[in-house]
Amino acid sequence: MPTKADMYARALAGNASMSPPPLPMPPLAGNVPQRHPRLSELEFFGQNPGTAGMATADQNVTLNPFSQLSPEQRQAVALNEAARVYMQRENMRPNYDLTPAQTQAFGSYGPVQAQRETIAGRLLSGDPSAGQATAEQQAYVRALAGRMGVPARNY
């Protein structure tokens, strides 16, 4: 059986047709679609193994097939990215202040809105890198979880 690296090399060489087409994937929380990575995304993931997944321009979630994350960690990444798609699709954009620590940690993530959405997704998925959530952030993430059908927990 070919390894993931073998499949990646074949895909980049233009021989992806050697494998049957992948089966459709079930939607994530919030009815956010997920799909297998496209060729350009496979190339990106191959060059950026630390990127576990992404919310795509076509409002899907795709995960890095080369990632070494556990199944639980992959589920958290999928939820994080699904939250980003959901916030944009449903125009449920966070408008809370960031803590100084969050501003420092996420300052390179682009505009403040992108930082807010990154933090919201990470809080929702239980990623501690989001930092200490403010009461306003917790309230927003509870509302987001409710709208997406994600079980409530402490944020």
pLDDT tens track for 127-146: 999 999 999 999 999 999 99
Q: Where in the chain are the domains?
A: 1-69, 92-155
Residue 148 has pLDDT above 80, yes or no: yes
**Tokens 């795709």 belong to residue:** 62
Residues of the chain with pLDDT > 90, as a percent, come to 81
Residue 10 has pLDDT above 90, yes or no: no
Q: Name the more confident of 21 and 63.
A: 63
Residue 6 has pLDDT above 70, yes or no: no
Mean pLDDT over the full length of the chain: 89
Predicted pLDDT of residue 4: 57
Predicted pLDDT of residue 22: 74
Predicted pLDDT of residue 154: 76
In our burial notation (b when 16+ CB lie closer than 10 A, e otherwise), range 30-60 reads: bebbbeebeeebbeebbeeeeebbbbbeeeb
**CA of 82: how far to CAs of 22, 74, 100, 103, 117, in Å?**
20, 12, 26, 23, 11
Q: Name the more confident of 6 and 44.
A: 44
User: Exposed, middle or buried by CB within 10 Å (0-12, 13-18, 19+), for 122?
Assistant: buried
